Amino acid sequence: MSLPRRRSRILQTTRKIGELIMTYFSKVSDAKSKGKPVAWVTVFTPVELLYALDIYPVAPEHFGALCSARGFIVDYLEEAERCGYSESLCSYSRCSLGYVLSGMNGIMPPPDILITFRNSCDVYVKWWQSLHMHLGTPLFVGETPYVLAPEDLDNYVLDYVVKQLEQLIEMAEERFGLRFDMEKLVEVLKLSDKASELWFETLKLRRFRPCPLGGRDSASDIFPLVVMQGTEEAVSFYEELLREVKGRIGRKEGVIEDEKFRLLFDGIWIWHAFDLIKYFEDKGAVFVYEPYSEAWAYRLDASEPLESIARKILSMGLNVDIDIRIERFLENIKQYQIDGAVFFSNRSCKTWSATQLVTADILNKKVNVPYLLFEADMADPRQYSEAQIKNRIDAFIEVLSES
C-alpha cells in the first residue's frame, strides 16, 4: 500500500527565485549591449572582485543547472558529443561547450573574458581552455594550493593567492581600460558579507523541529550566492527569506506536516529530478543539512579586502583536506539531530564523489548514522534511473524506521 502524499510547503520567497534568475540574465545581456565586459566564470571565482571592476559574471555551471531543470539541456549535450566531447565528461562542461558550438543563441551572452580558479573541480582548467580554443576569448587561470591545515589560510599560501588576484586586476585593467577602485571593492565586500551572514543565520534555523526550510528551498535559494554576491539584490533576497523562515518557526510550521526523519544530503542537487526530494518528504523525511548549501557563503573582512577574498577562494568547495570536511560532517550531524545521510554519487563530479564511501563509513562507525548512496548525473537526464533509485530510497526508509 502506498503512503499518503504529504503537503510540502515551499517558501514564498523561494517561488520568486525564477524571476530573480531571469532578471539577472536580462541585466547581464543589457550590460553586454552597452559595451560592458562580461566574464564567464567557474562558480568558485570571486565575483565580488569582478563587480568592483564593473565586469558582469556569468556561470556556465549555473546555466547548465538551469537548462537541466527546464528540460532543454540534451540538445546542448548532444551537440558537444557530436563534436567529439565524451559523454563521460561533466555535463555542465558539455552543456556550455554545446551551447558555444551551436551558436550561443540563448540567455547567456558571449564572454569577453574567461576566468577560473583551480580550487575544486578537476575539469575546470581543460574545460576553460576548450572554451578559449573555440571562442578565442582571453583566459585567466588562477592557481589555489590545497588547504591541508587552518594555518594555510594565513601563511605563504594566502600570499600566493593574493598575488593571483592582483594579476587578475592588472589583466582586466589593461584589457578593458578599467580602473580598479579599492573603495568600491570594500562596499561590495560589505554587501557580500551581509548576504552570507543572512544565509548562515537562515540555515541555522533548520535545527528547529519541525524543520522550516527544506531541500527544494535550499537548492533554489543558493543562486544569489553564486553570481550575485556583493549586490544589494542578494541582500534583499536573503533578508526576505530569513523573515519568512522565522515566521514559520513562530507558527511551529515545518516543511511537511509530519516530520519523522531528518536527513543530510551530500552532493550537487539533481536538477532534472527535483521531485525526488518530494519523494523523500512523502515518506516523512526532510533534508535539514547539505554541505552544498553552505559552499558559497563565507564571512568577509572588508578591512583586508584582497586577503579576505583569497581566504574565501582557498576555503571553498573541495579545496580543503578530507579530515577537515569529515569533522564538519560530524559536528553538523549532532547540531541538526540527523537520523540518516544520503550520498549522491555524481557521474559528473568525480572530485566530490570520490571520498563519499570513506566519509559514509566513518559517519556510520562514529555516530551510527545509516546512509544511502546512489548514482546518477546532476544535469544529464539520460543517466538517471528513477525506478531503481526510488527502490533504494524505499529500502533506506525502512532501515530508518527500524533504527
pLDDT tens-digit profile of 13-63? 999 999 999 999 999 999 999 999 999 999 989 999 999 999 999 999 999
Q: Give the mean pLDDT of 322-332.
A: 89
Burial class (CB in 10 A: 0-12, 13-18, 19+), 403: exposed
pLDDT at 119: 83
Q: What structural domains and CATH numbers belong to the chain?
A: 16-178 (3.40.50.11890), 184-402 (3.40.50.11900)
Q: Give the mean pLDDT of 232-246.
A: 98
pLDDT at 6 over 60: no
pLDDT at 1: 41
- Tell me the H-state helices in 177-214: 182-204
pLDDT band, residue 296 (cuts 50/70/90):
confident
Contacts of 263 (CB under 8 A, 6+ apart): 280, 285, 286, 287, 288, 338, 339, 340, 341, 342
pLDDT exceeding 90 applies to what percent of the chain? 84
- pTM recorded for the entire structure: 0.93
pLDDT at 179: 93
